[in-house]
Amino acid sequence: MTTVQVKRLQDGLIVGLIVNGHSGYAKSGSDIVCSSISTALNMTISIIEKLGIKYEYKIQTKMPEIIFSLKEPNQYSQIVLNSFIENIEAL
C-alpha cells in the first residue's frame, strides 16, 4: 500500500511529504494508482519549483520512498500542497 505522510508545523503549516510503498493495484510498472500518485507528486514539485519556492527531496529506490521538504514554506506552497493532498485523497 502507498502511504502519504504530511509533515506539519504546530500551526498546521505543511512543510513536507513522505510518500512510500507500492499501491498493489497491479504489478510494478503497470500500476495506474502508483502512476497517478507519481504524476501528482511530480506536478506538485514542478509547480513549487516554478514558483521559486526552495525545497529539497530525496528518492530512495529500495522502498520506494520520496521525502520532500520545503525550505521556505509560504501561502503559495500551502495552496499547491493542499491541492496535492486533495488529489491523493480522491484516488
> What are the pLDDT digits (tens) for 27-47?
777 888 888 999 999 999 999
Separation between Cα atoms, residue 14 and residue 80, nearest integer Å: 10
Q: What are phi and psi of 85, to 5 degrees?
A: -60, -45
The answer to whether 73 and 56 have CB atoms below 8 angstroms apart is no
- pLDDT in the model for residue 17: 97
Q: What is the pTM of this model?
A: 0.88
Q: Which helix (H) or strand (E) holds 28?
A: none
Residues in the chain where the model's pLDDT stays below 50: none
Separation between Cα atoms, residue 24 and residue 2, nearest integer Å: 8
- pLDDT in the model for residue 28: 76
Separation between Cα atoms, residue 77 and residue 80, nearest integer Å: 5
- pLDDT in the model for residue 22: 79
Rg over alpha carbons for the chain, rounded to the nearest Å, is: 13
Straight-line distance from the first to the last Cα atom of the chain, in angstroms, rounded to the nearest whole number: 13
